[in-house]
Each structure stands twice: as structure tokens, then as C-alpha cells.
Structure 1
Amino acid sequence: MSDRVLEVDSVDAGYGDVQVLDDLSMHLQSEEIVCLVGPNGAGKSTVLKTVFGLLTPWEGSVRFRGEEISGAEPPDLVRKGMGYVPQVDNVFGSMTIDENLRMGGVSRESGLEETMDELYDRFDILDDKRRAKASTLSGGQRQVLAFARALMTEPDVLLIDEPSAGLAPNIVQDVFQNVQTVNELGTAILMVEQNAVEGLDISDRGYVLDQGTVRFEDDADALLDNPEVGQLYLGG
């Protein structure tokens, strides 16, 4: 399994004395999109926080490109090639778009300007507003900025938490298109998404979580076609 860039193996984790993840295992392969779906409280966002070092597993293992990273600090993981786009507070509203991107690349030693130019070319909505404060952007534009800022370190893996949360339905498809654009740049994506059908529709594989553990795992198309998954978790 040399193409596995991220492996979560038999992980228990939680907050204080409250266990959320229970013997949870999953993996992410190079250049694929994997979507985590399931009911509220299933532990989806907790998976991302545990992978990104915001929580330390109680038991089990998290490996990034074969290296054990359980307990590693987020800045160290960014330097190793991992990015994270949280659901809220994912841009600096008082800073311009240009300043946000520079903050995203603060750990880089070289190539900052070149990467910024590439991202402005890729996301032209940002190019048109370089000097605008992030607080003036629409919800969809903020998500684009959050993606671009996370890409400033050219990560191998990007963790995205609920990219469509709070957005108008007519904006959601644009956001998912941007997720695919990020993936086409060569970045593997592990995404939590409450809009399960839409999230799985752009994904290669998916995991259905319930009560902190994996209930189903399969190719995304197979999960969408699974009547049990549809009835219990997809509103089908």
C-alpha cells in the first residue's frame, strides 16, 4: 500500500473524559478525494482534528506517508505536507486576500511569490480582489480563499471540514468544483461533508461514520447506490 499517504488505525479519541472515536480505522491514498459522512455527532470533525494534531489519540495510530504522527503539533504537520481548512474561522477577516495568502505561506523558505501567482491564476475570483479585506467576501469566496491559503504550503494532503456549511444552495456546487480543482493540483483530500450525496458525488471513496466508528466504507458510487446507506444516512 505504498500509495497510502494517510492511515488511521484503531483510533480512540475524544474530549476530556468523553470518548467520541471508537476503534476507528481509515486511509487516504495519493491524489484521491475521500468523503466522511454520517449523522451529527458521529465524530466526523473529530477525525480531522485528531489527524491534524488538535487532539491526541487515546489509543491507536495515525501515520502520514508511513511516519507515526500521533501527538504531533499542527505546525510540524504543515511543514511535513499537511493542510487543514476548518469549518469556521478559516480566514483572517481583517486582512486582505493577499495578506491571507502570505500568512498561509509563512513557514515557506522560498517560492512564495511563484505559488501566489499560480493560485491567483487558478482562482481568478481572488485575483480580482487582491487588496480587498477578507471580511468583505461572500461565503463562497471565503471558502475559495481558505482553500488557496491552505495550498500556499503545497500540501500532499488537505483536510477540509464541511466546505458547504452555511452556504446558499446555488453556491454549493461552485465550492465542490473548487474542491475538485484543489485535488486536480495533486493534493489528496479528506473531507467531512454534511451534504452527503453532493460530497460523495465528487469523491473517489467514502466512509459512513456513526457513533464514532466506521459503519460502511466503499467506493463513493457504491455507497450512493447502497439502499441501506441511502435509507439510514443519505435521506433516501
Structure 2
Amino acid sequence: MLEVDGVDSGYGDVQVLDEITLSLSAGEVACLVGPNGAGKSTVLKTVFGLLEPWTGSVRYHGTDIGGLAPERIVREGIGYVPQTENVFGSLTVAENLRMGGVARDDDVETVVADLYDRFSILDDKRTAKASTLSGGQRQVLAFARALVMEPDVLLIDEPSAGLAPNTAQAVFDDVLAVNELGTAILMVEQNAREGLAISDTGYVLDQGRVAFADEADALLDDPEVSRLYLGG
């Protein structure tokens, strides 16, 4: 479904990614882990068109989408939930969800109504400003807003960042709920063990390169990966 093949990318003239290769299949959850500065978020930004690949290709259903504008990539079927500024704080929950569907050519209300059914906490908070939500509730809203376009693939950057452990676990449960809707997920997660625990496939990035790639369970059981990247 999604293939990143030999991609170099970065910011200005500063290279961050070095021949990154990874793939995502239909219905799969894949997690990118690794130390700060390894290039994890840069991978998502490059896939989503916020950065352009310098070399290599980003293919979606076999078509090269590298360098397309984010609004084109959303229409192609890829959603993105950034780590920060992922909701409009001054807008209500309902307004945020309608904003998520501005690129749709049909009636957005039917899709929004379905999301209220799936994420009941949002139904209870329809008229609340997003700025008044808890951290976990804001993440649910960010997921739901991205799902208004009914993407086949959702890119999620650090969903548990800044959350208390019990709230983070609830957010991981929501990630799985999104996946159960049939949406494949490529996720960056600093909380490596928990991120891999809910994933099918894992990639360990280090200094802009893929250091390890395997089934998520195998990475969790790998003594070298554990020692170097998972805290022993």
C-alpha cells in the first residue's frame, strides 16, 4: 500500500534521512522508534508532502507521490496527525470535525455522525472548545478529524507525547480502534515498548537510517534492540 524506497530527505541543506526504506501493508500497524533526532518525524513529513524526497521514491498504491502537496496527498487517501497543534483550540469539537472534511466533495455530516458513534467522548463534547479538552481527548479529536476524509493510511506522530501513563494507554487503545476501522497506520512513538506492543511491524531508526526492521514482537524480544533502544 505504502512504500518508501531509498529516500534521502531533510531541511534546507541539512540531510536527516539516509536511504530510508520501509513499507506498510493494508490493515497493518507499523511503528517507528529510535532515539531523539533519529529522523522518525521527518519520515512522516516526507511521506505527507511537507518535505520533498531528495532521492528515492514514496509510492502509494504503486504511484509515486513524493513531492505532492499535502492537500493532494489527503485526497489520495493519506491522513496525518502531527504531534503538536493537531486541533483548532478556538473551535468546538463539531467545528474541528467539519474542518477535517473541507476537501470532501460530498456531505460531511454523515461521516461525522459515524465518528460520534465510534468515539462517544466526542459526542458528549460536541459544543466544547477543543482548548478545554484533556490531552487524551484532544488526541481522540485529532484522530477523528483526520478520519473524516476516510483515509486508507493514517500517519500518527507521537500520540502519547506528554500524557500520563493511564491516559497514554487509553490513546494506544484508540489507535487500535482506528486500525480496526480498516485504516493502516504508520506511527512514530517515543514510548518504544508500548508502541511496538500494539504494532505488527517495527522499524528502529538511528542517525537517519533504518538500524533494525522486523515484526514488532521480534524487535521486543531482540536482546540487542532491547539493550540499545528499549532501555535494557
Give the one of 74, 78, 83 matched to 2:74: 78
Normalized against structure 2, the TM-score is what?
A: 0.99
1:142 aligns with 2:164: no
* Residues 100-119 of structure 1: per-residue CA shift (max 9 Å, x gap): 00000111111411111110
Q: Percent identity?
A: 73
Query: Which of 190, 193, 196 does residue 194 from structure 1 map onto?
Result: 190
Which one of the candidate residues 91, 94, 112 is aligned to 1:95? 91
Q: What is the 5 A alignment of 1:6-45? A: 6-45=2-41
Residue 45 of structure 2 corresponds to residue 49 of structure 1: yes
Structure 2 counterpart of 1:58, from 37, 41, 54: 54
User: C-alpha displacement at 1:43, in angstroms?
Assistant: 0.2
| Secondary structure class of the residue paired with 1:24 | strand
State how far apart, in whole Å, the 2-side matches of 1:65 and 1:158 are. 14
Aligned to 1:177: 173
Aligned residues: 232
Q: RMSD of the TM alignment (CA)? A: 0.5
Q: d(CA) in 2 for partners of 1:16 and 1:109? A: 35
| Correspondence for 1:225 | 221
Q: How far apart, CA to CA, are the structure 1 residues paired with 2:84 and 2:116? A: 23
Moved over 2 A (4+): none
| Distance of 1:118 and 1:206 partners within structure 2 | 31
Instruction: Mark the runs of 5 or more structure 2 residues left unpaired by the alignment.
Output: none
- Aligned partner of 2:210 in structure 1 is 214
CA distance in 2, matches of 1:71, 1:172: 33
Q: What is the alpha-carbon distance in structure 2 between the residues aligned to residue 185 and residue 145 of structure 1? A: 16
Cα distance in 2, alignment partners of residues 102 and 117 from structure 1:
11
Distance apart, 1:201 and its partner CA: 0.3
Tell me which amino acid in the other structure corresponds to 1:213.
R
Report the 3-state secondary structure (helix = DSSP H, G, I; strand = E; otherwise coil) of the residue aligned with 1:165.
Answer: coil
- TM-score, scaled relative to structure 1: 0.98
For the residue of structure 2 that corresponds to 1:27, the secondary structure is strand
1:123-169 per-residue CA deviation (whole Å, 9 max, x = no partner) reads 00000010000000000000000000000000000000000000111
Q: Distance in 2 between matches of 1:84 and 1:179?
A: 13
Matched AA of 1:232: L
The residue type equivalent to 1:155 in the other structure is: P
| Letter matched to residue 165 of structure 1 | A
Specify which of 147, 154, 171 is matched with residue 150 of structure 2: 154
Q: 2:69 is aligned with what amino acid?
A: E
Q: Deviations over 1:7-61 (max 9, x none)?
A: 0000000111111000110000001000000000000000000000000011110
Distance in 2 (CA, whole Å) between partners of 1:40 and 1:104 is 30
SS at match of 1:98: helix
Q: Which runs of 5+ in 1 are unaligned?
A: none
